[in-house]
C-alpha cells in the first residue's frame, strides 16, 4: 500500500513539474538512504570524526563548533535518527558523485536545517558553506480577497496542478517570479484570471 501511494504521488509530482517546464534527472527517496546503508555509515563516520558525544541516551553532534547556536541530537534515545542525519548522508553522497557545488531550494520553515547539515558535512571534511541554501517564503493563495485554506474537509485546497490548469502555465510562472525567494507571495486567483491590464502579466 505504501509503495503504491508513494509511486502515485511521485507520478503526480513529475506530471505537474513537467507541465511547469521542470525536469529532474535524478531524485532520491529518503528511504533509499536507509536501505543502502548510507545513513548508518554516515553516523559511524561522524562517530569516528570525534565530533559526536553521548548524553541522556542520545547521540549529539557538536554543531556549535561550526557556528550553530547549540549542539544537536543526531540519534534519539530510542535509536532513531533525527531528520538532519539522512540529509548529511545525502549530501556526502552527492559530493562523492562529483557535485562539488550544490544549491538546496527549500521552504523557509526549514531554516533550522541549514546549520546542522553544513556542520555535519564539515565534520566529515567537506568545505564550509556546502551545501548552499535558497530559502523560499511560503505562498498564500487568495480568492475573493480571502486566503484559500488547505482543508480537504472543506474542499478548499488547491494543488499546484490545479492552479496551472485554472490560470495557465505562463501566468503561474509569471506570478511565482514576481517576488524574490525571501519575499512573501500572495497568489491572487482573481487577479491571475483577470484579462485586463490590472493583471501584471498583461502590463
Residues 162 and 115 in one domain: no
CA 18 to chain centre: 19
pLDDT of residue 155: 58
Residues 180 and 117 in one domain: no
* Cα-based torsion angle of the residue sequence 37, 43, 47, 49 in order, rounded to the nearest 10 degrees: 90
Q: What's the mean pLDDT in 36-64?
A: 97
Helices 160-167 & 2-20 angle (0-180, nearest 10)? 30
Residues 73 and 148 in one domain: no
Q: Would strands 132-136 and 185-188 be described as parallel, antiparallel, or unpaired?
A: unpaired
Domain that includes residue 172, residue range: 139-202
Give, in order, the Cα–Cα distances in Å from 36 to each of 75, 97, 167.
18, 15, 42
Domain count of the chain? 2
- pLDDT of residue 156 exceeding 70, the answer is no
Q: In the chain, where does DSSP find H-type helix? A: 2-20, 30-35, 38-49, 84-96, 111-123, 160-167, 169-176, 189-193
CATH number, domain containing residue 96 = 3.40.50.620
Residues 87 and 115 in one domain: yes
- Please check whether residue 31 lies inside any domain of the structure: no
* Strand ranges of the sheet holding 185-188, from the earlier edge strand across to the other edge: 146-147, 139-143, 185-188
- pLDDT of residue 183 exceeding 90, the answer is no
- Please check whether residue 146 lies inside any domain of the structure: yes
Of residues 186 and 154, more confidence is placed in 186
Query: Among the three residues 102, 136, 170, which one is the final residue of a domain in this structure?
Result: 136
Query: Among the three residues 116, 136, 156, which one is the final residue of a domain in this structure?
Result: 136
Q: What is the pTM of this model?
A: 0.85
Per the structure block, which three cell numbers stand in for 51?
565530533
Query: Among the three residues 136, 163, 192, which one is the final residue of a domain in this structure?
Result: 136
pLDDT tens readout for residues 58-99: 999 999 999 999 999 999 999 999 999 999 999 999 999 999
Q: Would strands 58-61 and 72-75 be described as parallel, antiparallel, or unpaired?
A: antiparallel
Residues 130 and 156 in one domain: no
Residues 104 and 156 in one domain: no
Residues 194 and 110 in one domain: no
Residues 84 and 41 in one domain: yes
Residues 74 and 112 in one domain: yes
Average pLDDT, the chain: 91
- Please check whether residue 18 lies inside any domain of the structure: no
Q: How far is the C-alpha of 37 from the C-alpha of 188, rounded, in Å?
A: 45
Amino acid at each position: 500500500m505504501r509503495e503504491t501511494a508513494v509511486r502515485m504521488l511521485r507520478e503526480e509530482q513529475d506530471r505537474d513539474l513537467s507541465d511547469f517546464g521542470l525536469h529532474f534527472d535524478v531524485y532520491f527517496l529518503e528511504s533509499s538512504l536507509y536501505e543502502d546503508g548510507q545513513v548508518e555509515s554516515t553516523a559511524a563516520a561522524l562517530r569516528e570524526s570525534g565530533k559526536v558525544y553521548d548524553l541522556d541516551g542520545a547521540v549529539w553532534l557538536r554543531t556549535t563548533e561550526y557556528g550553530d547556536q547549540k549542539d544537536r541530537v543526531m540519534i534519539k534515545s530510542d535509536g532513531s535518527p533525527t531528520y538532519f542525519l539522512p540529509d548529511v548522508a545525502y549530501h556526502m553522497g552527492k559530493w562523492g558523485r562529483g557535485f562539488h557545488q550544490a544549491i538546496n531550494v527549500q521552504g523557509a520553515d526549514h531554516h533550522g536545517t541549514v546549520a546542522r547539515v553544513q556542520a555535519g558535512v564539515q565534520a566529515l571534511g567537506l568545505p564550509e558553506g556546502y551545501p548552499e541554501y535558497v530559502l523560499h517564503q511560503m505562498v498564500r493563495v487568495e480568492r475573493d480577497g480571502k486566503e484559500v485554506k488547505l482543508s480537504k474537509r472543506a474542499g478548499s485546497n488547491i494543488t499546484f496542478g490545479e492552479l496551472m490548469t485554472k490560470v495557465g502555465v505562463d501566468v503561474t510562472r509569471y506570478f511565482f517570479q514576481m517576488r524574490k525567494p525571501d519575499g512573501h507571495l500572495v497568489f491572487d486567483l482573481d487577479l491571475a484570471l483577470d484579462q485586463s491590464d490590472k493583471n501584471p502579466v498583461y502590463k
